A and B are shown apart, each in its own frame.
Chain A
Amino acid sequence: MKPWKMSRRCLAPILILALVLAAQAVVGENLLLLKVSPASPRVVDAVAAAGGRVVQELNTCLLVRAKATDLPRLRGAGLACEAVGDPDGDASYFLMHSPLRAPVRGTESGLVHLRLEEDVWLLVVRDPDFRSRLVQPFRLKALWLDAALPAAARQPAPSRERALRPLQDNDIAPLVAAVSSDRLRADIQSLQDFKTRFASTAECEAAGDFLLRRFQELAGVQAYADPFVFESHYASRNIVAVIPGQTDPGQVVLACAHYDSTSNNRYVAAPGADDNASGTAAILEMTRILAGAKFDFTITLLCVSAEEWGLYGSAHYARQARAQGADIIAVVNLDMIAFPGTLKRELDVIGNYNSTWLADRFITAAAPYVGIRLDKVINSSLTWSDHSSFWDQGYPALCGIEDSINPYYHRTTDTLDKLDLGFALDATRGALAAVADLAQPLSMPAPPSGLRARSQVSFSLFLSRKTVYLDWHAAAGTIAGYHVYRATEPHGAYARLTGQPIAARAFTDFFLLPDQAYYYVVTAVDSEGRESNYSQEVRDDQDN
């Protein structure tokens, strides 16, 4: 056989093989956005095992980013999978909440809408001006397909409530009594007077300046503006106020409201009195009152922007917080709290599964101070406000919102004169009570500081046990003794180890399991038997 003939004979199969491999590689790397149902922890595990990443959780389905080659494995796991998008394409993706059957005008290209659930649509957007084709009322959430929801956003998580002392009404009542409806009215009016607060407009920037000044006027508050860019070329700012915690400043309770607005004439007139000058005014009032008190944990009060564009401000803040490892124990989002309608006078407290404890705690803390009904709603599909950005990062978050349909919603007629400030007053009082409770008001006696833990493992041939040595600084004031508490998970269910308060500022905990981490807090007890809040938590095997 001549050499050139052999080459030709070999070349064809090699070429075919190369083509097949190339095609397989292309198909294999091709990413899909899938609607996977049902939504449950089991399905989340199956998605992870099959190589997919959950990017959005809804009540009945998950949006999953996966390779095309993962699809058979997902289907093999018994999951219903439907391809709804191409994450690598040039389209943007939004969730849209709309009660309408036809929420999009026209049939031109550049905007595809797919129904995911009742009232929940997926928008696949190639037209940057797509908002003009959406029929009011609608609410948007931009989807971040490059991210994966942390496990805590989707899985049952230990309740952080267990790390909190019981409600201490004596400390909260004076704070709640300081809420002023006149101030709420004045602040709503001031925000409404900017004509429009549509994010990216100069008026919205001016509203941000107004909020920043208000925060800066308060003693003990660290105020700053946090700029961000959204949709490639728009800019806006979140306005942040921080009240540092006294005992454990690393733990943060966050209250937020969006200050931007929109309407059917959004660049000219979007007063947004209910949506959401009402929530923003509540944040201003809460900041004023909370700044005058002391708490164990840090309170962050956040006025976010670009909510109406798709929750960009809160997504920026929450993603940054997660990246920095911020320990946000709870988020209370207020969005539309001044239009109760005529019948129900009810504030919905909306959470996801991970936030159930928070909704319960909010209602328990707020109920004594409000004359309105508080209704807990656990629904992962209610993602249309800023709390959802925190859900996506695994933080417990809730949204306080009026349970009524505001006919002036997203209209130029959403003005102060339509609002019920008595309802807004109650909602603000309730939110203030809940945030103060979550941040643990610092009452007498003060908790001990400087808690340290050192551990030592003792071995015999087959057994080992850990001994933990604790010591701490004396608490201020006249202290009768100290109690020591232990938990087996961070901020977990603390069990008291001391029957009676101990006088010593040291404690040894014997015969503990060597492979288990233990977490400790101590409290101070004064001569009248009053017990302080928990000290800062320490872990036994960390260098502290």
Chain B
Amino acid sequence: MIRTTEKKPLPAAALLLSALLLPTLAARTMAAPRPEGSQLFAAVSAGYFHPLSGEVRAIYDRPAWPLELQLGWRVQPRLDLYAAARFLQLEGKTILGATQESAESYSVRLQLLALRLGAGFCAGNGPISPCLGAGIQYGFFKEEWPAVPLKTNGGRAGVFAAAGVRLRLARSLHLVTLMDYSFQPGGLGSRGKQVNLGGLSLTLGVRAGIL
């Protein structure tokens, strides 16, 4: 079931997990033998985005397709550190304060660019490996009413966590599918409530070793 409330235990858990795991894993990495194969990798993925906030869904009711580019460092056979840029554009229509005859609504657009730093962990080196990941992100967002023109923008820090499966296609080429959760605060919205621009994404991508 999709959770539609604004409660956010998951981001806190993801942050806690990152804080606990990363130093331990980094220490183990220093001591462990260097992994075989490519140390650096690049990945690209796309998918479907579902906003968690009901208010976002009420305005931006059309399907949205996030696109993410990733550059990572394989610090251990099972552990990656990576940076990513994730772009998302939502489109919809304004909503009205109260129902009234002959009321107007206007097309609106929201663009979100999230710069991410994360760590990924894959269990096993087989052809199919379950993976977990988490990290922090900084989201730059811009909302505009193209017809007016009217726009506003801002930026806030958020967190994300992902879980999925990695399928090895070749020695340094993987197919990755992930369910990605993000919590991206947007600050105070026009109706006086805090806005969460985050949501759930189901993505499919490829990852290739480059060095």
Contact = CB atoms under 8 A, between A and B. Distances in A.
Interface of A: 454, 456-465, 467, 469, 508, 510-511, 514
Contact of B97 (A456, A461, A462, A510): A456
A461 B110 contact: yes
B5 interface: no
Interface in B75-105: 92, 94-98, 100, 102-105
* Secondary structure dominating the interface of A: strand
A461 B190 contact: yes
Nearest to B105: A458
Given A456-B96, A511-B148, A464 B104 contact: no
B189 A461 contact: yes
Given A462-B143, A462-B186, A467-B103, A457 B97 contact: yes
A508 B191 CA distance: 23
B189 to A, nearest CB: 5
Given A464-B190, A465-B150, A511-B148, A459 B100 contact: no
B190 A460 contact: yes
B65 interface: no
Given A456-B96, A511-B148, A511-B150, A461 B104 contact: no
A463 B104 contact: no
Instruction: Name which of B92, B96, B104, B154 has the most chain A CB atoms within 10 A of its CB.
Output: B104
A514 B191 CA distance: 11
B42 interface: no
Given A462-B143, A462-B195, A456 B190 contact: no
B15 interface: no
Contacts of B104: 456, 458, 467, 508, 510
Interface in B187-205: 187, 189-191, 195, 197
B23 to A, nearest CB: 37
5 closest A-B pairs by CB: A458-B94, A457-B97, A464-B190, A460-B108, A456-B103
Contact of A459 (B60, B102, B110, B190): B190
Given A460-B143, A463-B143, A469 B195 contact: no
A103 to B, nearest CB: 62
Contacts of B143: 460-463
Interface of B: 55-56, 59-60, 92, 94-98, 100, 102-106, 108, 110, 143, 145, 148, 150-152, 154, 186-187, 189-191, 195, 197
B190 A462 contact: yes
B76 to A, nearest CB: 41
8 contacts: A460-B59, A460-B108, A461-B108, A461-B186, A461-B190, A461-B195, A467-B103, A511-B148
Given A459-B94, A460-B110, A462-B190, 12 more contacts: A457-B96, A459-B59, A459-B97, A459-B191, A460-B94, A460-B143, A463-B150, A463-B190, A465-B145, A465-B148, A469-B102, A508-B104
Contacts of A508: 104
Contacts of A464: 190-191
B186 A460 contact: no
A454 to B, nearest CB: 7
Nearest to B53: A461
Contacts of B189: 461-462
A462 B103 CA distance: 20
A479 to B, nearest CB: 24
A460 B59 CA distance: 6
A47 to B, nearest CB: 36
Contacts of B190: 459-464, 514
Contact of B152 (A463, A467, A510, A511): A463
A133 to B, nearest CB: 66
A510 B152 CA distance: 18
A465 B191 CA distance: 11
Nearest to B99: A456
Contacts of A461: 55-56, 59-60, 108, 110, 143, 186, 189-190, 195, 197
Contacts of A511: 148, 150
Contacts of B55: 461
Nearest to B106: A458
A7 to B, nearest CB: 61
B200 to A, nearest CB: 18
A460 B149 CA distance: 13
A460 to B, nearest CB: 4
Contacts of B97: 456-459
A454 B108 CA distance: 23
Contacts of A460: 59, 92, 94-95, 106, 108, 110, 143, 145, 190
Instruction: Name which of B151, B189, B190 has the most chain A CB atoms within 10 A of its CB.
Output: B190
Contacts of B105: 458
Contacts of A456: 96-98, 100, 103-104
A231 B190 CA distance: 58
A511 B56 CA distance: 21
Instruction: Name which of B56, B59, B96, B97 has the most chain A CB atoms within 10 A of its CB.
Output: B97
B195 A459 contact: no
A458 B102 contact: no
A467 B100 CA distance: 11
B142 to A, nearest CB: 9
